[in-house]
């Protein structure tokens, strides 16, 4: 297992290097400059390029970036928060995005599991149909629609929760954004749970357990649910990365200073260092979550072995 | 969990009714909201004013910032020699008094004895010298490094490394700790007003050098010398100010103005409005579609912004041999465009207080130096809408060119909904008279790249804008002189126009302000009416609601909006 993880980590580092290089090339191909002001003169543009080292060739910039990166220096922002170190900008924002994402994931998984199990247990009844309808709606309705509805009814009309993110009450003010974000994972988890659960409940070993007279809830939680988890973990992995890296739309609506909005503005304004750093974090998280998912397989179902030695 | 379900389930079902449910609900927020606005008040007397900042602070460094929000934040906590009063006129701030030499070239400022930085050090004349030299220093790469040249400050061209001048050559000298002398090459009617612009604010040299790279990047790395000080700054979330007890006029401020002003960064107009209606915000900006529902709300106001939107016509820079641009070289084509656009209808449809442009100089930008009358009043409306005339010019053009005219309109897709709306309307109006117009929407960075030097002006015509840097027609007139290669994208090249602008700025206009004024009026006619080199379209507006509990911030069409003088009622 250790050897397997080490191998995966090494491959990941190589992948990340390639990702950064590709990002550099893509960034170079993007039209425009980070200095998008109709008022800038030629002289000024030249000065700005020189100041930020953008007049150097692509490969020189790439290796300089890597060199600085090892020391934790991710460069400075050219446009969004001019001259701010990127590491500072991301430090503050990443935590909030992680928190909303994690909350959304927890809401989504719990709600999804409940919906899925309820549907499976009431297979082919109106309850099942209702759960399916909810799942379909959840998959098809964009999160910002839910966000605005939640804002309007829960926060504005009923005044149960704050409308906007509030630094002094982060958890309370992040419930609505997390709920809005959790709609799609809820639906996805519910759909997978339902179909897997129905399969599992019809299998021989469940019939065996039931015939031994074990209580129904024990059958479901201990035997059926555990076997249902494998495909669910496969879907939640990428979902989790999506949630953790923030949603620019949700962040915008609730006024959350998160990393999703930062990355979008970075791309829009050609703030190269911001875009690279955000994409880099996204990639690291994706690779890490995939690794964790692979390891989790083995824990949940010991029959699955990720490597021969494991 | 049950509670969460009870909230979520009915919600999901509501959404299930169809996509339109969502939009009508969202609009419902603004319609019904006016009734209960502004709600929630605390029992105690209000001490905090919370205003919406629709865009973030990009920099607190006065040499680096270029955007409105950054300038507003800087003006809260840093002062210049002058500040703008509610009418946009300069009055002394850190300067106790000033004298001007008889030829109008040498300004001597006496800095107040009780003007201090928030670390207790006095504000000295050297702080201004250092700050100004810092702006023109090529190492700073300031976007506003040219502004001293525009202000006629001696050797203002020293920002250009090829000028052979050094930052130290700039015409600003510290005579002693509290006396600053500025030398101009020609008198300037707007110089004093510019001193209220953050690029002209002082910087404490010792502090800035001590902080190095970190200067102005966080609350601890900023010194205040203005009426407020920055007490918290969280990019993307908020920036907060508290009265600065070390300010020279602190007792007056403490007696009159809000003790604490919080700027909350909220980009989304819908949630911002809900937050205002819940009583958590004191100002909110409205989008065009929110205006009708809130027109009757207490505190609703349309303000006129300085931005003027115009069509830049690529008549003389057709490097790419574009068919459309080639046709624009024909005067009748350009005149047809100008007459075809119903500016009144267009501006009204934007629904945000925008008005039709009567010329390239916006309303309320500059006043006649002798009578105080607005430039637009003196110059009159020199644009007009006349379909018949437009059709006539178009027919003449078709005869001359031998073919119908097809043009591509370049505009920004990420610069606000009103730009997209305006571009579509321009297309409609021009097609009414016979043109075929293809829309080419691009993000701002790409738009500037296509029309500018980077891509050698690869466009036919473009909807673009210019925000004034100072309260004088010159800020617009300089754009279209033939020697301006940075902004004159269409390559307008008119000896008459150049001569008029030269006469105003460097000729007879120097000694006679009424000649200067007249030259600018004539130059505008040459540019807009005679040559139809550019087509002014509309002057941008902005709708806001300002809580009746506070006095309005002061809005200036040129210069920085002031949130310094907010009174809690």
What residues of chain A lie within 8 A of the CB of B143, using their CB? 35, 37, 39-40, 44, 48
Q: Do A82 and B22 count as a contact with CB atoms less than 8 A apart? A: no
What residues of chain A lie within 8 A of the CB of B270, using their CB? 148, 151, 253
Under the banding of pLDDT at 50, 70 and 90, the label for residue A2 is confident
Which one, of A34, B240, A124, lies nearest residue A132 by Cα?
A124
Kind and range of the H or E run holding B193: helix B191-194
Please give the pLDDT value at position A306. Answer: 56
Which one, of A217, A223, A240, lies nearest residue A118 by Cα?
A217
What residues of chain B lie within 8 A of the CB of A134, using their CB? 9, 12-13
- Is B34 domain-assigned? no
Check whether B10 has a pLDDT greater than 90: no
Q: Do B217 and A84 count as a contact with CB atoms less than 8 A apart? A: yes
What is the sign, positive or negative, of the torsion defined by CA atoms of B520, B524, B526, B527?
Answer: positive
- Is B461 domain-assigned? yes
Interhelix angle A272-300/A86-121, rounded to 10 degrees, is: 40
Q: Using the 8-state DSSP alphabet, how is residue A310 labeled?
A: -
Of A48, A79, A151, the CB nearest to B274: A151
Mean pLDDT to the nearest integer, B5-19? 39
Do residues B325 and B183 both lie within one domain? no
Which one, of B189, B255, B199, B242, lies nearest residue B473 by Cα?
B189
B366-399 b/e (C-beta count within 10 Å ≥ 16 → b): bbbeeeeebbbebbeebbebeeebbbbbbebbbe
Do residues B240 and B171 both lie within one domain? yes
Do residues B248 and B366 both lie within one domain? no
- Is B273 domain-assigned? no
Please say which residue of B265, B299, B329 terminates a domain. Answer: B265
Task: Return the CATH number at B256.
Answer: 3.90.76.10
Q: How far apart are CA A108 and CA A112, in angstroms?
A: 6
Please give the pLDDT value at position B24. Answer: 36
Average pLDDT, chain B: 89
Whether the CB of B266 is below 8 Å from some CB of chain A: the reply is yes
Q: Do B4 and A163 count as a contact with CB atoms less than 8 A apart? A: no
Q: How far apart are CA B335 and CA B523, in angstroms?
A: 17
- Is B17 domain-assigned? no
Pairing mode, strands B48-53 and B82-84: unpaired
Do residues B347 and B259 both lie within one domain? no
Whether the CB of B284 is below 8 Å from some CB of chain A: the reply is no
- Is cis: bond before B38, omega within 30 of 0? yes
Under the banding of pLDDT at 50, 70 and 90, the label for residue A307 is low
* pLDDT tens per residue, range B364-376: 898 898 898 999 9
Please give the pLDDT value at position A269. Answer: 87
Which of A27, A29, A32 is the best substitution to test chain B (most B C-beta atoms within 10 A)?
A: A32
Q: Do B4 and A111 count as a contact with CB atoms less than 8 A apart? A: yes
* pLDDT tens per residue, range A99-123: 999 999 999 999 999 999 999 989 8
Of B16, B445, B465, the CB nearest to A133: B16
Please give the pLDDT value at position A299. Answer: 76
Domain that holds residue B232: 55-265
Please give the pLDDT value at position A305. Answer: 63
Q: How far apart are CA B432 and CA B36, in angstroms?
A: 45
Which residue in chain A is spatially nearest to B37 when comparing CA positions? A156
Check whether B40 has a pLDDT greater than 80: no
Under the banding of pLDDT at 50, 70 and 90, the label for residue A308 is low
Which one, of A263, A81, A72, A102, lies nearest residue B234 by Cα?
A81
Which of B64, B66, B217, B268 is the best substitution to test chain A (most A C-beta atoms within 10 A)?
A: B268
Under the banding of pLDDT at 50, 70 and 90, the label for residue A292 is confident
Whether the CB of B53 is below 8 Å from some CB of chain A: the reply is no
Please give the pLDDT value at position B39. Answer: 39
* pLDDT tens per residue, range B377-421: 999 999 999 999 999 999 999 999 999 999 999 999 888 888 999
Q: Do B235 and A253 count as a contact with CB atoms less than 8 A apart? A: no
- The vertex-A54 CA angle with B201 and B488, nearest 5°, equals 65
B532: left (phi over 0), alpha (psi -120 to 50) or beta: left
Which one, of A72, A78, A73, A31, lies nearest residue A53 by Cα?
A78
Task: Return the CATH number at B444.
Answer: 3.10.105.10
Which one, of B493, B5, B563, lies nearest residue B260 by Cα?
B563
Check whether B6 has a pLDDT greater than 80: no
Q: How far is B168 from chain A (nearest CA, A)?
A: 18
The rounded percent of chain A whose pLDDT value lies above 90 is 36
Q: CB–CB of B271/A164 below 8 Å? A: yes
Q: Where are the alpha helices (DSSP H) in chain A?
A: 2-29, 42-51, 58-70, 86-121, 126-140, 143-150, 170-201, 204-211, 216-218, 225-244, 248-254, 259-268, 272-300
Under the banding of pLDDT at 50, 70 and 90, the label for residue B44 is low
- Is B283 domain-assigned? no
The rounded percent of chain B whose pLDDT value lies above 90 is 73
Please give the pLDDT value at position B34. Answer: 36
* pLDDT tens per residue, range B502-540: 999 888 988 888 999 999 999 999 999 999 999 999 999
Least confident of A52-56, A58-62, B33-37, B168-172: B33-37
Please give the pLDDT value at position B16. Answer: 35
Please give the pLDDT value at position B1. Answer: 41
Q: How far apart are CA A77 and CA B58, in angstroms?
A: 10
Do residues B343 and B211 both lie within one domain? no
- Is B218 domain-assigned? yes
Total domains in chain B come to 2
Under the banding of pLDDT at 50, 70 and 90, the label for residue A310 is very low
SS3 for B95-164, per residue?
Answer: EEEEEECCCCCEEEEEECCCCECCCCCECCHHHHHHHHHHHHCCCCCCCCCCHHHHCCECCHHHHCHHHC
Please give the pLDDT value at position B36. Answer: 38
Do residues B416 and B366 both lie within one domain? yes
Of A36, A43, A254, the CB nearest to B160: A43
Please give the pLDDT value at position B340. Answer: 97
Q: How many CB pairs under 8 A join A and B?
A: 177
Q: CB–CB of B545/B283 below 8 Å? A: yes
Check whether B45 has a pLDDT greater than 90: no
Please say which residue of B265, B296, B315 terminates a domain. Answer: B265
Q: Do A152 and B9 count as a contact with CB atoms less than 8 A apart? A: no
Please say which residue of B265, B282, B299 terminates a domain. Answer: B265
- Is B236 domain-assigned? yes
Q: CB–CB of B303/A288 below 8 Å? A: no
Do residues B350 and B418 both lie within one domain? yes
Do residues B328 and B468 both lie within one domain? yes
Mean pLDDT to the nearest integer, B350-362? 93
Least confident of A14-18, A305-309, B121-125: A305-309
* pLDDT tens per residue, range B198-207: 999 999 999 9
Please give the pLDDT value at position A243. Answer: 84
Do residues B238 and B350 both lie within one domain? no
Of B162, B235, B278, the CB nearest to A163: B278
ipTM (interface pTM): 0.86
Mean pLDDT to the nearest integer, A4-26? 88
Q: CB–CB of A250/A177 below 8 Å? A: yes
Mean pLDDT to the nearest integer, A52-76? 89
Which one, of B94, B410, B45, B70, lies nearest residue B244 by Cα?
B94
Check whether A138 has a pLDDT greater than 50: yes
Do residues B311 and B192 both lie within one domain? no
* pLDDT tens per residue, range A163-186: 999 999 999 999 999 999 999 899
The number of beta carbons lying within 10 Å of the beta carbon of residue B300 is 15
In B453-472, the residues whose Cβ lies within 8 Å of chain A are 453-454, 464-466, 469
Do residues B347 and B416 both lie within one domain? yes
Greatest mean pLDDT among A294-308, B333-347, B449-463, B485-499 lies in: B333-347
What is the sign, positive or negative, of the torsion defined by CA atoms of B400, B402, B404, B409?
Answer: negative
Q: Do B234 and A154 count as a contact with CB atoms less than 8 A apart? A: no
Which of A27, A29, A31 is the best substitution to test chain B (most B C-beta atoms within 10 A)?
A: A31
What residues of chain A lie within 8 A of the CB of B33, using their CB? 156
What residues of chain B lie within 8 A of the CB of A84, using their CB? 217, 235
- Is B300 domain-assigned? no
Do residues B245 and B316 both lie within one domain? no
In B62-121, the residues whose Cβ lies within 8 Å of chain A are 64-66
Please give the pLDDT value at position A296. Answer: 80
> Which residues make Cβ contacts (< 8 Å) with residue A220, sequence separation at least 6?
A117, A121
Mean pLDDT to the nearest integer, B154-164? 91
Q: How far apart are CA B471 and CA A67, in angstroms?
A: 48
Which of B161, B237, B308, B481 is the best substitution to test chain A (most A C-beta atoms within 10 A)?
A: B237
Which of B4, B5, B6, B8 is the best substitution to test chain A (most A C-beta atoms within 10 A)?
A: B8
Of B19, B445, B469, the CB nearest to A36: B445
């Amino acid at each position: 297992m250790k050897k397997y993880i080490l191998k995966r980590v090494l491959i990941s580092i190589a992948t990340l290097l390639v990702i950064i290089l590709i990002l550099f090339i893509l960034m170079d191909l993007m039209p425009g400059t980070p200095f998008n002001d109709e008022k800038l003169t030629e002289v000024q543009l030249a000065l700005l390029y020189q100041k930020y080292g953008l007049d150097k060739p692509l490969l020189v910039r790439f290796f300089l970036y890597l060199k600085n990166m090892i020391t934790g220096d991710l460069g400075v922002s050219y446009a969004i928060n001019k001259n701010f170190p990127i590491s500072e900008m991301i430090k503050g924002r990443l935590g909030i995005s992680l928190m909303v994402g994690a909350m959304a994931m927890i809401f989504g998984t719990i709600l999804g599991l409940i919906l899925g199990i309820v549907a499976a247990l009431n297979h082919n009844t109106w309850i099942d149909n209702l759960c399916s309808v909810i799942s379909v709606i959840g998959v098809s309705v964009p999160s910002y629609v839910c966000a605005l509805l939640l804002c309007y009814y829960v926060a504005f009309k009923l005044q149960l929760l704050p409308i906007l993110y509030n630094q002094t009450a982060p958890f309370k003010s992040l419930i609505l954004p997390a709920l809005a974000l959790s709609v799609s994972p809820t639906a996805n988890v519910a759909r997978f749970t339902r179909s897997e659960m129905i399969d599992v409940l019809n299998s021989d070993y469940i019939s065996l357990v039931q015939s031994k007279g074990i209580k129904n809830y024990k059958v479901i939680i201990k035997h059926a649910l555990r076997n249902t988890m494998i495909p669910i973990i496969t879907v939640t992995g990428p979902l989790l990365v999506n949630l953790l890296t923030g949603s620019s739309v949700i962040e915008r609506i609730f006024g959350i200073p998160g990393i999703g909005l930062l990355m979008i503005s970075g791309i829009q304004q050609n703030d190269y260092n911001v875009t690279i750093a955000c994409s880099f974090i996204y990639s690291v998280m994706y690779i890490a979550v995939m690794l964790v998912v692979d390891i989790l397989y083995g824990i949940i179902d010991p029959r699955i072995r990720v490597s021969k030695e494991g | 969990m049950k509670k969460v379900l009870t909230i979520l389930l009915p919600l999901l079902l509501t959404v299930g009714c169809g996509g339109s449910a969502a939009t009508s609900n969202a609009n419902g927020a603004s319609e019904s909201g006016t009734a209960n606005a502004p709600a929630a008040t605390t029992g105690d007397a209000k001490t905090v004013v919370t205003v919406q900042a629709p865009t973030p602070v990009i920099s607190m460094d006065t040499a680096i910032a270029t955007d409105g929000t950054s300038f507003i934040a800087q003006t809260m906590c840093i002062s210049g020699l002058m500040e703008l009063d509610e009418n946009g006129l300069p009055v002394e701030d850190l300067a106790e008094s000033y004298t001007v030499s008889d030829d109008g070239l040498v300004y001597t400022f006496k800095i107040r004895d009780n003007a201090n930085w928030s670390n207790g050090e006095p504000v000295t004349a050297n702080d201004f010298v250092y700050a100004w030299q810092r702006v023109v220093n090529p190492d700073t790469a300031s976007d506003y490094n040219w502004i001293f040249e525009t202000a006629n400050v001696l050797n203002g061209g020293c920002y250009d490394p090829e000028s052979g001048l050094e930052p130290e050559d700039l015409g600003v000298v510290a005579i002693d700790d509290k006396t600053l002398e500025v030398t101009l090459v020609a008198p300037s009617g707007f110089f004093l007003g510019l001193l209220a612009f953050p690029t002209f604010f002082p910087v404490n040299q010792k502090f800035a050098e001590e902080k190095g790279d970190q200067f102005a990047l966080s609350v601890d790395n900023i010194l205040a010398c203005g009426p407020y000080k920055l007490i918290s700054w969280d990019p993307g979330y908020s920036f907060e100010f508290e009265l600065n007890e070390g300010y020279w006029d602190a007792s007056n401020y403490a007696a009159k103005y809000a003790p604490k002003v919080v700027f909350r960064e909220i980009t989304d107009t819908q949630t911002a409005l809900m937050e205002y209606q819940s009583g958590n915000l004191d100002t909110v900006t409205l989008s065009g579609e929110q205006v009708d529902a809130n027109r009757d709300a207490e505190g609703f106001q349309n303000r006129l912004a300085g931005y003027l939107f115009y069509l830049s016509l690529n008549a003389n820079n057709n490097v790419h041999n574009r068919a459309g641009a080639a046709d624009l070289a024909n005067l009748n084509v350009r005149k047809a465009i100008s007459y075809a656009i119903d500016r009144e209808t267009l501006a009204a449809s934007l629904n945000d207080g925008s008005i039709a442009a009567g010329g390239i100089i916006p309303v309320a930008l500059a006043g006649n130096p002798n009578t105080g009358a607005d430039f637009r009043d003196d110059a009159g409306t020199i644009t007009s809408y006349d379909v018949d005339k437009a059709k006539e010019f178009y027919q003449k053009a078709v005869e001359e060119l031998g073919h119908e005219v097809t043009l591509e309109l370049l505009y920004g897709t990420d610069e606000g909904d009103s730009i997209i709306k305006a571009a579509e309307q321009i297309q409609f109006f021009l097609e009414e008279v016979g043109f075929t117009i293809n829309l080419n929407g691009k993000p701002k960075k790409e738009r500037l790249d296509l029309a500018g030097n980077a891509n050698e002006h690869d466009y036919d015509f473009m909807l673009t804008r210019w925000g004034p840097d100072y309260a004088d027609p010159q800020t617009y007139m300089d754009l279209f002189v033939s020697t301006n290669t940075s902004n004159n994208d269409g390559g307008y090249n008119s000896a008459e126009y150049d001569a008029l602008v030269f006469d105003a700025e460097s000729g007879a206009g120097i000694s006679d302000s009424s000649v200067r004024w007249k030259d600018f009026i004539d130059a505008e006619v040459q540019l807009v009416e005679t040559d139809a080199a550019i087509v002014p379209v509309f002057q941008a507006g902005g709708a806001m609601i300002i809580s009746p509990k506070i006095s309005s911030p002061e809005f200036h069409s040129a210069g920085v909006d002031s949130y310094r003088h907010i009174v809690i009622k």
